[in-house]
């Protein structure tokens, strides 16, 4: 078994829709990227990897990271789970690998201080994310 896991990363301007099986992320841009040994990584290392890959300026913007999970006891009902620390990351990875959940990450970029950052900078963040992810 390979220690590299393929992740589907959704990003950019979009909205989360609900379908018959829960959340749908079809309105976002997406890219596939492999992550070596994700169960051994800290959330901070994953966050830094996403921040670098999406060319996020950490001085002016921050990322939110959510994953797709299914906690339903019967059937499939996909939900978003916010990941903000290593304990949550490891719980997600363990469950995703054990239960065959899709390894899906939704990354959203926001200005750190809404009052101090002009809208142009927010647009620049989105443009940079699209350019780097597609390289």
How does pLDDT run across 36-63, given as a tens digit for each residue?
999 999 999 999 999 999 999 888 999 9
pLDDT of residue 6 exceeding 80, the answer is: yes
State the chain's mean pLDDT as an integer: 84
pLDDT of residue 114 exceeding 50, the answer is: yes
Residue ranges of domains in the chain: 4-133
pLDDT of residue 120 exceeding 50, the answer is: no
DSSP string, 10-26: EESS---EEETTEEE-T
Beta bridge partners of 56: none
For position 115, what pLDDT does the model report? 56
Please say whether the structural domain 4-133 has been given the CATH code 3.40.47.10.
no
Mean pLDDT of 6-27: 92
Mean pLDDT of 96-100: 92
pLDDT of residue 118 exceeding 80, the answer is: no
pLDDT of residue 13 exceeding 80, the answer is: yes
pLDDT of residue 121 exceeding 90, the answer is: no
Nearest 5°: the CA angle 52, 55, 56 is 95
Identify whether the C-beta of residue 28 lies closer than 8 Å to the C-beta of residue 83: no
Number of neighbouring beta carbons within 10 Å of residue 118: 10
Alpha-carbon gap, residue 117 to 115, rounded angstroms:
6
Strand order in the sheet with 29-36: 29-36, 4-11, 104-111, 61-69, 79-83
Of the candidates 47, 59, 73, 41, the one whose C-alpha atom is nearest the C-alpha of residue 111 is 59
- Which stretch of DSSP H or E encloses residue 109? strand 104-111
């Amino acid at each position: 078994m390979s220690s590299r896991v393929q992740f589907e990363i959704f990003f950019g301007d979009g909205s989360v829709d609900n379908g018959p099986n829960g959340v749908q992320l079809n309105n976002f841009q997406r890219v596939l990227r492999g992550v070596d040994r994700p169960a051994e990584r800290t959330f901070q290392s994953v966050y830094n990897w996403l921040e670098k890959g999406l060319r996020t300026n950490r001085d002016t913007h921050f990322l939110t990271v959510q994953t797709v999970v299914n906690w339903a006891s019967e059937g499939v009902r996909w939900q978003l789970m916010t990941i903000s620390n290593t304990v949550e990351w490891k719980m997600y990875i363990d469950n995703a690998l054990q239960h065959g959940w899709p390894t899906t990450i939704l990354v959203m970029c926001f200005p750190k201080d809404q009052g101090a950052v002009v809208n142009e900078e927010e647009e620049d963040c989105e443009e940079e994310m699209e350019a780097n992810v597609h390289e």
